[in-house]
Every structure is written in C-alpha cells, then in structure tokens.
Amino acid sequence: MPTPDKAAAVAELTDKFRSSNAAVLTEYRGLTVAQLKQLRRSLGENSEYAVVKNTLTKIAANEAGIDTLDDLFTGPTAVAFVTGDPVVSAKGLRDFAKDNPNLVIKGGVLDGKALSADEIKKLADLESREVLLSKLAGAFKGKQSQAAQLFQALPSKFVRTAEALRVKQAEQGGAE
C-alpha cells in the first residue's frame, strides 16, 4: 500500500507529464549541486529539471499515458519537463552535456512520441520556433510584394499596349 507521500509524488509527476509538451530523461551521476544549478539555468524558463525516483516516475509516466520510457528508468535519473519550445531546452541539454560529459541524455518524449538520445540531439540542431516563424513570415512578405508588383505591372502594360496601338492606328490612318 503506497504511502501518502509517494501517492502525492506520483500525482505531481503525472501532472507534470500531462502539462508538458516534452520530457527528457537524463543521467546526472557525477554532477555537483553547482553544476545541476547551472544546468537548470541553461534549460530556459519554460523547463523544469527534477531529480526523480525511477519507480515513482515510471508509474506517473504510465498514468499520464506514456509507456515508451519504461526502459530508460535505470540508474540515477532526472527529468527535464518542457512546457515551452522544446528546441531551446534540447539545445541547453546538448550544450551542457558537451561541457560536462557526466550528463547523459537517455531519451525522452515529445508530444507523446518517444525520442531517442540521438533524436533529441537532432532536435537541438533545429532553429527555435521564433526564428522559424520569422523566416516563414519573411517568405510570405516576399511573395506578397512580388504579387503586388505583378498586379501593378498588368494595368501599366495594358496602358502602354493600348497607347502603342493608338499610335500605330493614327500613323496608318494618316498614311492613307
């Protein structure tokens, strides 16, 4: 029979899994408290990094409908719960792991889909959502200005063609 503390911990973790659009599992063995504090800062303000108990977290993940992470709950485990842009958090984890090889990215889940450690590193190589949206907006703006130029060119070309036709008819009429 679970104790009230364990039941509360499972409920809290279940809520975190449900409210997060991504979760990344890591092994933190060998990291100091200062390094963990630095890691939490590098993940951004839309992420929460928590050292967790494997059994309780596995139960919470299953209650949240995530059963693809079961194999990753071995050894000392910490979870980065991401509520914002997952690319920012993935970059923070990747960059921190480069400087601190004791941090090992085990895998994770993004919008209910399981991710391997390599897929998380590929996610970190993407540009952030804001950059991608601004590039898309720039592309739309460029296409709109091209369309505007085309629509302005049609009437002026028509006027030039009509004027050339009028001049030609005037020349032919004057030649007869």
Tokens of 139: 């592309």
Residue by residue, DSSP assigns 42-102 as: HT-TTEEEEEE-HHHHHHHHHHTT--TTGGG--SSEEEEEESS-HHHHHHHHHHHHHH-TT
**pLDDT tens, the chain, 176 aa long:** 578 888 999 999 999 999 998 999 999 888 889 999 998 988 888 889 988 999 999 999 989 888 888 888 888 999 999 988 888 888 888 889 898 888 899 999 988 888 888 888 888 877 666 776 787 777 777 777 776 777 777 777 777 888 888 888 888 876 55
- 97: which residues sit within 8 A by CB, 6+ positions away? 103, 104, 105
- Rg, C-alpha atoms of the chain: 29
CA-based end-to-end distance of the chain: 112
Is the pTM here over 0.75, yes or no? Answer: no
| C-beta separation of 85 from 133 below 8 A | no
